[in-house]
Amino acid sequence: MEQRTYNQYCATARTLDLVGERWTLLLIRELLTGPKRYGDLQASLRGLGTGLLAARLKHLEREGLARKVTLPPPARTPAYALTEAGQELGPAVLALARWGLRWAMGERREDETFHAGWAVLGLRACFDPDAAAGLRAVYEFHVDDEILHARVDDGTVETVHGPAQYPDARITITEEAFVGVTARRLTFSDAIEAGAATATGDGEALRRLPSLFQLPAPRSRTAD
């Protein structure tokens, strides 16, 4: 497959030459949360055909943005991981996510897929470092069967797939309620009152949670 180019000696154009094709940035998004097996990528990117997925992965390898790895025991299976250059696209992807939360999200469409694991990056995009000043706490989130956790350390955050070893607070919420919170149809407090969410653990960590992860106020792209 011939790679298309803008033929411009410009850093933005050169970057888009590398990651501007359809699905490429979403592959970067998936790999930003850690190495993924081919099947994991297929499951997360429904609508991306097998042939195109293979082509996009080869492109990322060829351009030095991703590489093949072997997962550690007990998995020991082949997977794909980002290189240093690929990892440095993280801030750009998070900036796009923040822009999307403000200008593009709205309600979920009927034909749109959703994976709770995308919240790993979503939490980073919504994190307010000023609100986390002086706080050290580990939050474990259960969204239906998906588990992830966030480690807050005095203004910084690390979010990871899987359970935490020693969580200070545990938040459980249904996928439907989580989507509702993301779409701003309800608040987390509403979800708790409706029985669709629970929050247990350290009182101070739970008290500060709402200020740590805040959705930006939505804006309309239509001119007044």
Assign domain 11-88 to its CATH architecture.
Orthogonal Bundle (1.10)
- pLDDT tens column, 40-95: 999 999 889 999 999 999 999 999 999 999 998 887 899 999 999 999 999 999 99
Counting runs of H as helices and runs of E as strands, what totals does the chain give? 10, 7
Is 54 within 8 Å of 39 (Cβ atoms)? Answer: no
Cα-based torsion angle of the residue sequence 178, 182, 183, 184 in order, rounded to the nearest 10 degrees: 100
Segment 178-200, tens digit of pLDDT: 999 988 888 899 999 999 999 99
If you average pLDDT over every residue of the chain, what do you get? 93
Whether residue 169 contacts residue 201, with contact meaning beta carbons closer than 8 Å, is answered with yes
pLDDT in tens, 27-38: 999 999 999 999
pLDDT per residue as tens digits for the range 155-176: 999 999 999 999 999 999 999 9
pLDDT of the residue at 184: 87
Which pLDDT belongs to residue 74? 85
Dist CA 156 CA 130 (whole Å): 9
| Residue-level pLDDT at 10 | 97
Judge contact between 120 and 94, C-beta under 8 A.
Answer: no
pLDDT of residue 1 exceeding 80, the answer is no
Q: Is the pLDDT of residue 223 over 70?
A: no
- Strand ranges (E), the chain: 66-70, 78-82, 136-143, 146-153, 156-161, 169-173, 197-201
pLDDT of res. 4: 86
Paired tokens of 2 = 């011939």
Look up the CATH architecture of domain 116-212.
Answer: 2-Layer Sandwich (3.30)
Are 16 and 4 in contact by the 8 Å Cβ rule? The answer is: no
pLDDT classification of 23: cutoffs 50, 70, 90 = very high
Domain ranges of the chain: 11-88, 116-212
Residue 118 CB partners (closer than 8 Å, separation 6+): 29
Question: For 88-147, what is each residue's pLDDT tens digit?
Answer: 999 999 999 999 999 998 888 888 999 988 999 999 999 999 999 999 999 999 999 999
36/148 Cα distance (integer angstroms): 16
List the beta strands (DSSP E) in 76-168: 78-82, 136-143, 146-153, 156-161
Judge if 11-88 and 116-212 fold alike in CATH terms.
no
The pLDDT, as a whole number, for residue 151 is 97
